[in-house]
Amino acid sequence: MRFIRGHSLLEAIDDLHEAVRTGSLDEASRSLQFRRLLRSIVVACQAIDYAHSRGVIHRDVKPHNIVLGRHGETIVVDWGLAKAIGADEPRGGSAAESRLHIAAGQSSDLTLEGSLIGTPAYMSPEQAAGHTDLVGPPSDIYSLGCTLYHLLAGRPAFRGESVTDVLQNVLAGRYAPVRSVRPQVSRGLEAIAAKAMATAPRDRYPTAAALADDIEHWLADQPFAAYRESGLEKVFRWVRRHRSWAVAGFSAVAATALIALFAINIVDGQRRVAHRLAAEKTALADAERHARELAETGTRRARAAELAATSRAVRHTRPELSVLLAVESIQATTRHGLPIEPAAEESLREALMEIGGIPFHQPERVLALSGGGRWLIGPT
């Protein structure tokens, strides 16, 4: 028998998770050690697949029975419960071989013999049910999935107060998802373990080699069968695998964005200048129009005052002309919507009194003046 110097996968898993708990290893070292242990499970899967190809099933795969050598080798040991595929279990024998007796307080990590073959925390549901005729390669694949779960979560998938509790959990497929125990675990690795640990044998990986392939694809950052990536995860994976292209593309996009932003700022600045100039032009035009209106208003009021003064000047000598000039003085402002000048209104009253007419108290309503200047036409 070959003498192996090294330690079990179980010890390596415990050491890794203890380092994670205490922070004694930096993140890069933890990641390197974790990937090494994953590769050890890949080698164990390949060894079990080889045994299956030779018609042998192990029936007790667990971290305790995977030994890591001092020089990087991985060896699956303890083939004491192995049997040829399709071979019948021996009949007769001692009571321990025909019936399983579970002692109180017995550990679920210990190998059981009898009707139940294997270790409760790592055995398949068909083993836990005692259906030895159904135990085959899928049973070893299930145990490999339990071993992967232990690496990911830092503890066995199935636990309980007693071996009986553990077996009931195995039969019911009742265990905590990996990410509920350790949220930082990859969703892909969680999916690989879950597929290998499917309760129904038909739902597991078809071979141990297929399980190894999925783990290797995850290690190589490639898509694999057990997990369907989201669109965002595909993008992140592409970026990881094409880092130089991604950096170049990001730089190009960033440069384009900066140029576009610079151009937008220029255009926006020009637009703001154009708006300011247009506003200033409008304000200037409004000011000019207002000044022109003020000037025109002043001119009209001055004209009205001039006519009113002339009307007063000729009131005694030419009263009819005085009336005409007074009316023109009123209309000089009212026809443009301006109020009547008080002097114009007063000159009209005085002119009317001079010719003996009736005082007219609504000069803004004068419509016309008779040809001789003796009659004003207004509303009735």
Tens of pLDDT along 23-60?
888 889 999 999 999 999 999 999 999 999 999 999 99
Q: How many domains does the chain have?
A: 2
Q: Are residues 141 and 284 in the same domain?
A: no
In a domain, 19, yes or no: yes
Q: Are residues 183 and 316 in the same domain?
A: no
Catalytic entry in 14, 15, 26, 60: 60
Question: What is the Cα–Cα distance from 107 to 62, expressed in whole angstroms?
Answer: 14
Catalytic annotation present for 60? yes
What is the domain range of residue 150? 6-233
Do the Cβ atoms of 156 and 171 come closer than 8 Å? Answer: no
Do the Cβ atoms of 65 and 147 come closer than 8 Å? Answer: no
Q: Are residues 115 and 163 in the same domain?
A: yes
Domain termination residue (choose one: 200, 233, 266): 233
What CATH number corresponds to the domain at position 171?
Answer: 1.10.510.10
On the question of pLDDT at 139 being above 80, the answer is: yes
Q: Are residues 47 and 173 in the same domain?
A: yes
Q: Are residues 153 and 221 in the same domain?
A: yes
pLDDT band at 19 (very low <50, low <70, confident <90, very high): very high
Residue 376: enclosing H or E segment and its boundaries?
strand 376-377
Give pLDDT tens digits for 206-254.
999 999 999 999 998 888 788 776 666 666 565 666 666 656 666 778 8
Q: Are residues 228 and 259 in the same domain?
A: no
The DSSP symbol for 224 reads: B
The DSSP symbol for 336 reads: T
Q: Are residues 223 and 250 in the same domain?
A: no
In a domain, 238, yes or no: no
- Token pair belonging to 254: 């960033």
Q: Which residues are registered as beta bridge partners of 83?
A: 57
- Token pair belonging to 268: 């926006």
